[in-house]
């Protein structure tokens, strides 16, 4: 849970410690208070800044997707203590999109106890099969879908995430878009940059996500790396991909 708490605290204190990033998350502040999270549990400063910049990037792509598809659905896999749904909802006068957080039963229960139930927001346990999880979401393949995987705030089971993505793609009707947003940490050396594809292969459960995306018929639309400094040993890379054919 430490990484979950680090991520939650980073979002909660962003306006105070990183005003130049321009990231605001009132829901994170409320959730941290409700869970009585120790504010001293933090990422190191360089990592925290990269994490917040990556979150802002993901939020931008989410908002762009919902602007194009106002009644779309989003599924956040391994959501942890994410408050993305609440954060994005505050930027809409009347949000029409629906959101599903999928995670381990203990995380789901923790959030259910702390956060009020909302009609267009679901919390689903990932203990069932991919087919059962998708059925519980209520997605039938006819509505545009956004899938988000954050590998910074918590250690992800990327093979389980891939199994769910494959099930979603199996159900997708022709012409219906599935957008995929990935975020993960890259470790760099001063002697040179480790290429992003090696990161996804070595650090993401031995899954080379760019290769997998291509193999499943998807297209990488954008790749962005956030480095907190010239000699930083930690960076965050985000990938935006689409399955639309």
9 domain-assigned = no
What is the number of domains present in the chain? 1
Average pLDDT estimate for 202-231: 79
Question: Residue 100 above 80 pLDDT?
Answer: yes
**pLDDT of the residue at 229:** 67
Residue 88, domain extent: 47-243
Question: Residue 231 above 80 pLDDT?
Answer: no
10 domain-assigned = no
139 domain-assigned = yes
Q: What is the pTM of this model?
A: 0.89
pLDDT in tens, 13-46: 999 999 999 999 999 999 999 999 998 999 888 8
The answer to which of 124-128, 153-157, 221-225 has the lowest mean pLDDT is: 153-157
Query: Which range has the top average pLDDT, 141-145, 160-164, 225-229, 231-235?
Result: 141-145
- In SS3 terms, the chain reads as CHHHHHHHHHHHHHHHHCHHHCCCCHHHHHHHHHCCCCCCCCCCHHHHHHHHHHHHHHHHHHHHHHHHCCCCEEEEECCCCCCHHHHHHCCCCCCCCEEEEEECHHHHHHHHHHCCCECCEEEEECCCCHHHHHHHHCCCCCCCEEEEEECCCCCCCHHHHHHHHHHHHHHCCCCCCEEEEEEEEEECECCECCCHHHHHHHHCCCCCHHHHHHHCCCEEEEEEEECCCCCCCEEEEEEEEEECC
1 domain-assigned = no
Question: Residue 213 above 90 pLDDT?
Answer: yes
**pLDDT of the residue at 187:** 54
pLDDT in tens, 54-96: 999 999 999 999 999 999 999 999 888 999 999 999 888 778 9
15 domain-assigned = no
Question: Could you identify the residue written with the tokens 């956004």?
Answer: 146
Q: Give the span between the Cα atoms of 144 and 10, in whole angstroms.
A: 31
- Whether the Cβ atoms of residue 243 and residue 169 lie closer than 8 Å to each other: yes
Question: Residue 125 above 50 pLDDT?
Answer: yes
Q: Give the span between the Cα atoms of 52 and 56, in whole angstroms.
A: 6
> Residue 202's domain is classified under what CATH number?
3.40.50.150
**Mean pLDDT estimate for the chain:** 86
**pLDDT of the residue at 233:** 61
93 domain-assigned = yes
192 domain-assigned = yes
- Whether the Cβ atoms of residue 47 and residue 214 lie closer than 8 Å to each other: no
Question: Residue 1 above 60 pLDDT?
Answer: yes
């Amino acid at each position: 849970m430490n990484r979950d708490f680090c991520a939650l605290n980073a979002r909660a204190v962003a306006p105070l410690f990183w005003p130049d990033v321009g990231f605001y998350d009132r829901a994170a502040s409320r959730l941290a208070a409700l869970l009585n999270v120790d504010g001293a549990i933090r990422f190191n400063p360089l990592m925290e800044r990269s994490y917040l910049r990556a979150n802002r990037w993901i939020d931008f792509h989410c908002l762009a997707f919902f602007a194009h598809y106002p009644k779309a659905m989003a599924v956040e896999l391994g959501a942890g203590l994410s408050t993305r749904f609440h954060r994005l909802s505050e930027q809409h006068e009347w949000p029409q999109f629906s959101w599903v957080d999928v995670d381990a039963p203990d995380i789901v229960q923790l959030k259910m106890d702390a956060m009020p139930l909302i009609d267009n927001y679901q919390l689903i346990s990932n203990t069932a099969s991919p087919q059962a999880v998708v059925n519980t979401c209520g997605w039938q393949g006819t509505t545009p879908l956004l899938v988000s995987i954050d590998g910074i705030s918590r250690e992800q089971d990327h093979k389980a995430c891939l199994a769910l993505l494959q099930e979603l793609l199996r159900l997708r009707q022709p012409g219906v878009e599935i957008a995929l947003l990935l975020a993960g940490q890259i470790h760099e050396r001063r002697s040179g940059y480790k290429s992003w594809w090696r990161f996804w292969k070595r650090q993401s459960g031995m899954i080379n996500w760019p290769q997998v995306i291509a193999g499943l018929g998807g297209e990488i639309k954008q790749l962005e790396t956030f480095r907190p400094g010239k000699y930083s040993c930690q960076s965050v890379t985000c990938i935006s991909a689409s399955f639309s054919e």
